[in-house]
Amino acid sequence: MPEPDFDEGAAISATGAGGVGQGAIAPTGTGAAMDLAISEGATLERTPGGPEGTGPAGKPRSLWGDAWRDLRRNPVFIVSGLIILFLVVISLWPSLIASGNPLKCDLSKAQLGSRPGHPFGYDGQGCDVYTRTVYGARTSVTVGVCTTLGVALFGSVLGGLAGFFGGGWDALLSRITDIFFGIPVVLGGLVFLSVVTSTTVWPVIGFMVLLGWPQIARIARGSVITAKQNDYVQAARALGATNSRMLLRHIAPNAVAPVIVVATIALGTYISLEATLSYLGVGLKPPSVSWGIDISAASQYIRNAPHMLLWPAGALAVTVLAFIMLGDAVRDALDPKLR
């Protein structure tokens, strides 16, 4: 057996402070991390004490703390965060930027284009498109966000537990998701929502959560099964970790990425599904104001008056994009390899 050069640790510390900026704990790119991995024991240098404070005196760091630090400097997160913040503010207080009344319409102005004071023009009923787009944000954002939260919560908890414990519960849950996948959304919506008389958004949200959770449950189950086979889960078990510790500390952070991606993409689908249901007359009904209602009403006149469609549809597109960008940024921040 060759005489091993055992003390690579000493070599590491000895080569010392070479290459400041490369050895920082948050390397500028994956290239720096690659270098570290390739040149075992030779070029690993002490981390220069920067503002990150990585030395022994530095604060202990955690995945979520690091993710937050990363997010704050990510332009994608800042832009999408600002858009979402703006949407939340106008959902809560639409009168801040729109002084008119979305339900005050004048048929004589139907389908007219942009006017001073009415930048987006008028819709088929002669209502102000700008005011309606601003007021519609509340319903659309509520439907999108609440449905996504509900679906993600139900789906990932049920799917994750089924994937982790396996066996009979897993088989049962998988068959239940199969059944829900078999229900056609539009037909189910017509049947389910036509018996509901409430005019609020909640029955619509409830229906979409009911049909949406199996999608997330399947993804969560799959990624939990993948994560739980890793040796580090076995290592935690060998240390005596409880099931909840293994799930929360080891499996969840490593299984959450696909769920975030699918949930944020689905958020846009939920907003448009609400529009579809409204179009069929089983979702929200006028006098409710929502982008979905406006889009479906305007779609018949796209050749004569495209502005009626483009403004609410554009608002919907920007909202969906903002949430997808947010999900993307969060997913990347939770992966230390990309840092």
Partner 1 sequence: MAEAILEVRDLVKHYPLTQGILFKKQVGAVKAVDGVSFDLVAGETLGIVGESGCGKSTVAKMLVNLERPTAGQIKYKGTDITKMSGKALRSVRRNIQMVFQDPYTSLNPRMTVGDIIGEPYEIHPEVAPKGDRRRKVQELLDVVGLNPEYINRYPHQFSGGQRQRIGIARGLALQPEIIVADEPVSALDVSVQAQVVNLLERLQNEFSLSYVFIAHDLSIVRHISDRVGVMYLGRIVEIGRDAEIYDHPTHPYTQALLSAVPVPDPSAREHRERIILSGDVPSPANIPSGCRFRTRCWKAQERCTLEVPELAVPAVFQLLEGPAHHPSACHFAEEKRVVPSE
| 250 and 236 Cβ atoms separated by less than 8 Å | yes
Instruction: Mention every residue, 6+ apart, whose C-beta is less than 8 A from residue 68.
Output: 333
Q: Any contact of residue 21 with partner 1 (CB under 8 A)?
A: no
Contacting partner 1 (CB under 8 A), which of 241, 261, 280, 310?
241
Taking the complex as a whole, the smallest distance from the CB of residue 47 to partner 1 amounts, in Å, to 6
Span near partner 1 by CB under 8 A; candidates 1-9, 152-160, 289-297, 303-311: 1-9
Q: How far apart are CA 333 and CA 324, in angstroms?
A: 14
Residue 44 CA from chain centroid, whole number: 37
Contacting partner 1 (CB under 8 A), which of 10, 85, 302, 317?
10
Q: Any contact of residue 37 with partner 1 (CB under 8 A)?
A: yes
| Residue 122, beta-bridge partner list | 128
Contacting partner 1 (CB under 8 A), which of 41, 184, 286, 314?
41
Taking the complex as a whole, the smallest distance from the CB of residue 167 to partner 1 amounts, in Å, to 11
Q: How far apart are CA 40 and CA 323, in angstroms?
A: 41
Contacting partner 1 (CB under 8 A), which of 51, 60, 75, 182?
60
| Residue 115, beta-bridge partner list | 118
Q: Any contact of residue 245 with partner 1 (CB under 8 A)?
A: yes
Q: Any contact of residue 177 with partner 1 (CB under 8 A)?
A: no
CA angle at 120 for the pair 117 and 125, rounded to the nearest 5°: 100
Cis peptide before 116 (omega within 30 of 0): no
Q: How far apart are CA 339 and CA 337, in angstroms?
A: 6
What is the enclosing helix (H) or strand (E) of 264?
helix 252-279
By rule CB under 8 A, what count of residues binds partner 1? Answer: 52
Residue 26 or 210 with smaller CB distance to partner 1: 26
> Which string of x and - marks every residue 70-109 that binds partner 1 (by CB under 8 A)?
----------------------------------------
Q: Any contact of residue 238 with partner 1 (CB under 8 A)?
A: yes
Q: How far apart are CA 92 and CA 96, in angstroms?
A: 9
Span near partner 1 by CB under 8 A; candidates 25-33, 101-109, 116-124, 303-311: 25-33
Q: Any contact of residue 337 with partner 1 (CB under 8 A)?
A: yes
Within the chain, residue ranges assigned H as helices are 8-15, 30-38, 63-72, 75-92, 129-165, 167-181, 185-194, 202-228, 231-239, 243-245, 252-279, 291-298, 307-333
> Which string of x and - marks every residue 127-166 that binds partner 1 (by CB under 8 A)?
----------------------------------------
Q: Any contact of residue 29 with partner 1 (CB under 8 A)?
A: no
Q: How far apart are CA 178 and CA 49, in angstroms?
A: 55
Span near partner 1 by CB under 8 A; candidates 52-60, 108-116, 178-186, 271-279: 52-60
SS3 213: helix
Contacting partner 1 (CB under 8 A), which of 50, 81, 188, 253?
253
Residue 8 or 106 with smaller CB distance to partner 1: 8
- Using the CB atoms, write b or e for 108-131: b if 16+ within 10 Å: ebbbbeeeeebebbbbbbebbbbb
| 261 and 220 Cβ atoms separated by less than 8 Å | no
Residue ranges that bind partner 1, judged by CB under 8 A:
1-2, 4-10, 12-13, 25, 27, 33, 36-41, 44, 46-47, 54-56, 58, 60-63, 230-232, 234-241, 245, 249-250, 253-254, 334-337, 339
